[in-house]
Chains A and B, each alone.
Chain A
Amino acid sequence: MAESFLEIKISDVSLASMPIDVAISFTSLVEALTKIANLTLGNDNLKVQIREGSAVACIYGTSLENTVAEYKEVVENRSTNKDLVEEWRNIQEIFKANGLAYEAYYNIGGVTTDILQPLKAAKRLRVRASEPKKYHTTLQFFSGELIENGGKRPNIHVDIEGVGEKTIACTKLSAQKANVYLYSKIHFSAWVSESDDDVEYQLCDSYSTPEAFENYRSFINDFYSMPLLDALKVLHYKCRDYLDAKEYKRLRRFLRLFDHQSVDVNFLKTILIITQGFKEQEDLSGIRNSIKEKFDNRMKAIRKTKSNV
């Protein structure tokens, strides 16, 4: 027997003559161990063995240390390998389910470590949820030719000046409205979300004139260059100006620039506070509710994170 091995033994049975229920368990164990060996990193030298002396299923070889390392991740629910977790779970379920007398352990460097009790004691093995990708999102302004429109998920394809062809996710309504502009130059703003290996674009708004485009673009550039407290005051008074002038449609247009889950909660809160008295106003209620939903979700997530600390 090689120095490093992992084996599972069903005691008091003979390979030459097994009751059916024992045979079912044993073949399942052999199948699971075989698949685990196959999934082990660098598994060229691993071998599977079945032998007498009770009914023993075994894998052995110098790569067994990898098998054991991966087993430890699985039993601690740290593994993200769905297939591997499934096979160890199958073994776990066999150990927990029936009344056969099992022994299960691995031996590395002459040191034996039990795996039966840890597997029986653990909750149902599961794959660790992978970390969500971290995105950094900014609001950016672009001009370019609309070259394609539509798809299963609504989007527009734009050949952005200085950037190239990009797919911009949007709503169905926006995609429908965009039809008129196919093969024309458009000006628009988009939420650009960048992770380590990915960039995603989501349409914020489109502008019918270069002047309107430039007004919003320069406002946002100046806004996000300011210290946070100055920006909050600017936002407050900008909204106030629209409300005092009863320019509710224009305020709705302006608030689109903040209607995204990446926007600082302080900006969202400031908007909600200043528009509190207008929550039923027909031109503002929709976007206000949209912003409120994002604010509530963000604060819920923040409070949940704090309560888990």
Chain B
Amino acid sequence: MAKSNLSSDNLIDCPSDQLPANFVGAALYVEGGNPIHALIIIKHEATGVFEMFHYDGGTTVEFIQPGVLAPSFCGSLLHIVDEELIPTFITHCRIIKDEAKPRYGYFYNQGSLYDAEGKFISPNDMPEYMSCVGFCINVIQQYLSDESFFKYSDWDETTIGKDEGYIEQWIAKVKKHNPTVDEKLLREGLRRIFPLEYLTGAFSDELPVTKVFTDEESPKLKSIIEQRLKPASKVA
């Protein structure tokens, strides 16, 4: 299994003074103690940027101020996005914001990404469906030329955790909007990487991140988050 960089020190509250001056990270919003939403956090001192970039699960791709979705926690992705190239990354996100039109689904097709034009590219012309985690992965994947962020084959339809009726309904909806889509290929892309797993992946020192790694480390990450959220830990 890959070595883990997960520790309480490496899990950063966002926003907080602990964030370095220049930073790109995987971020996780926790609501009612549940890790429910994935974002990308970007901070760059020289350009004054300090924002979170996300897909809200509906029709909106946007930048929001850190603190709007709180509490949130993040882990560094500077092993994927060079600190020197954060301005390029910010520009790419801004272009994606103008171009992306995602729709919600527990779907990620291996090899998909948002390209330099902000256009969604997917092998076999799969349509632009994704979860909040899938959106973050599609953004970050552009920066990984020869490798995948996650080992997607480790996650399949069974990871969605919904009944067959839900899945059939979703496939029908996708086919209605995309009549020529190959249903078999669509099914092969059904998978759900949970927001907690996404943040866990930031702490793997190897790519692609495997499910063995996230299965091992996600409970530890959850435990650290729970400790942080306890009222006693907030005392100065």
Q: Which of B68-76, B90-98, B123-131 contacts A (4 or more CB under 8 A)?
A: B90-98
Cα(A229)–Cα(B46), bound, Å: 10
The answer to whether A229 and B116 have CB atoms under 8 Å apart is no
Q: Which of B79-87, B102-110, B175-183, B199-207 contacts A (4 or more CB under 8 A)?
A: B79-87
Would A228 and B95 be within 8 Å (CB), given that A240-B117, A276-B116, A299-B82 are in contact?
Answer: no
Q: A94: CB under 8 A from chain B?
A: no
Q: Mark B122-165, 1 if CB is under 8 A from A, else 0.
A: 00000000000000000000100000000000000000000000
Q: Mark B46-89, 1 if CB is under 8 A from A, else 0.
A: 11010000000000000000000000000000000010110110
B→A interface (CB under 8 Å): 46-47, 49, 82, 84-85, 87-88, 90-92, 94-95, 116-117, 142
Q: Mark A187-223, 1 if CB is under 8 A from B, else 0.
A: 0000000000000000000000000000000000000
- Taking the nearest CB of chain A, how far is it from the CB of B143, in angstroms? 10
The answer to whether B85 and A229 have CB atoms under 8 Å apart is no
* A240 nearest CB neighbor, chain B only: B117
The answer to whether B84 and A229 have CB atoms under 8 Å apart is no
Would A269 and B88 be within 8 Å (CB), given that A233-B94, A233-B95, A236-B95 are in contact?
Answer: yes
Q: A266: CB under 8 A from chain B?
A: yes
**From residue 233 to 260 of chain A, which have CB atoms closer than 8 A to chain B?**
233, 236, 240
- Taking the nearest CB of chain B, how far is it from the CB of A275, in angstroms? 9
The answer to whether B91 and A299 have CB atoms under 8 Å apart is no
The answer to whether A228 and B46 have CB atoms under 8 Å apart is yes
Q: Hey, which chain A residues are within 8 Å of B82, CB to CB? A: 299, 302
- Taking the nearest CB of chain B, how far is it from the CB of A122, in angstroms? 37
Q: Counting chain B CB atoms within 10 Å of each CB, which of A240, A265, A269, A274 scores highest?
A: A269
Cα(A227)–Cα(B91), bound, Å: 12
The answer to whether A227 and B47 have CB atoms under 8 Å apart is yes
Cα(A302)–Cα(B91), bound, Å: 21
